[in-house]
Chain A
Amino acid sequence: QSILTQPLSVSGTPGQRVTISCSGGSSNIGSFTVTWYQQFPGTAPKLLIFADDQRPAGVPDRFSGSRSGTSASLAISGLQSEDEADYFCATWEDAQNAHVLFGGGTKLTVL
C-alpha cells in the first residue's frame, strides 16, 4: 500500500473534465512539489507535470496540476480517447531517509 493514495480508477467520456487526486502527508506532499506521469501498457512512464503545475514541452495544456496542503490533483480537460492510460503521482519523502515516493496509480478509462 503506497503512502501516496490515488483512486484505483476514474472514467469519463470524450470532452469531459476528469481529476485524479493524490493524497499524502506533511513530510511528502506537504513539503515538496508533486510530479505526474502518464504510462501506457508496456512502455516507460512519461513526464506529464512537474513542480506541481509545470508542463514539459509537448504536453498539451489540457493537462494541469495543482497542490494544496498534503494533497495534489491532476486535471485533464477535453478528454480524448488517447488519454486512456495509467497516471502516477510522485514526490520526495523526507521522513527518516529522503527518498522518492510514487502513488499507487490511477487507471483512466475513456468511455
Chain B
Amino acid sequence: QAQLRQSGPSLVKPSQTLSLACDISGESVSTMTGAWHWVRQSPSRGLEWLGRTFYRAKWYADYADSVRGRVIIKADTSKNEFSLHLNAVTPEDTAVYYCAKGGVYDAATKSFVGHAYDIWGQGTRVTVSS
C-alpha cells in the first residue's frame, strides 16, 4: 500500500509562501485512478479541504474557494511527489497540514470514491508568525 511522507517548515513568516512536499512511496503520482489532496486542520476552521491534483492523460488541479488565487498544488513526476504552495500567508493559515490520497475503489458501484482518503501523510504543524 502507498505511503505518504510530508516535509516542510513548521514556521513561516506572515506574507511569505508556505511550501510543503508530500513524498509518495508504493504508488505513482501519475496514477489514473486516484488524486492527491491537501487538507488542513485548525481549532477555528476544523478540517478544511485546500485542493487536489490528479492525472488523467494530462494534469489537473482544483482548489478551494477559501484559498483560490493564493494556492498552487502540483506534482513532480521525477520525484514522485506532490506539493502545496500557499502564498501571502497570515496567522489564519496556522494549522496542521495533511496530504492525502483520494480514490477508494467501491466494488458495489465499480467506481472510485474521490473524497475517500485511505492514505494520509503524518501531518505538519505550521505556524504563521513573525
Contacts and interface: CB of A to CB of B under 8 A. Distances in A.
Contacts of B65: 96-97, 99
Contact of B113 (A50, A99, A101, A102): A50
Given A44-B122, A97-B62, A51 B116 contact: yes
A40 B100 CA distance: 17
Interface in A53-110: 54, 56, 88, 90-92, 96-105
A105 B43 CA distance: 11
A55 to B, nearest CB: 11
Contacts of B117: 35, 37, 45, 47
Interface residues on B, range: 20 to 34
A33 interface: yes
A44 B104 contact: no
Contacts of A37: 117
Interface residues on A, range: 20 to 34
A100 B37 contact: yes
Nearest to A1: B46
A87 B123 CA distance: 18
Main secondary structure of the interface of B (DSSP, over half): strand
B106 A99 contact: no
Given A44-B121, A47-B118, A99-B64, A105 B108 contact: no
B122 A2 contact: no
A31 B105 CA distance: 19
B29 to A, nearest CB: 19
Contact of B108 (A51, A90, A97, A99): A51
Contacts of B68: 97
Nearest to A2: B46
Contacts of B36: none
Nearest to A91: B115
Contacts of B48: 102
Given A88-B47, A96-B65, A100-B39, 6 more contacts: A33-B113, A35-B116, A45-B98, A47-B118, A51-B108, A97-B62
Interface of A: 2, 32-33, 35, 37, 43-47, 50-51, 54, 56, 88, 90-92, 96-105
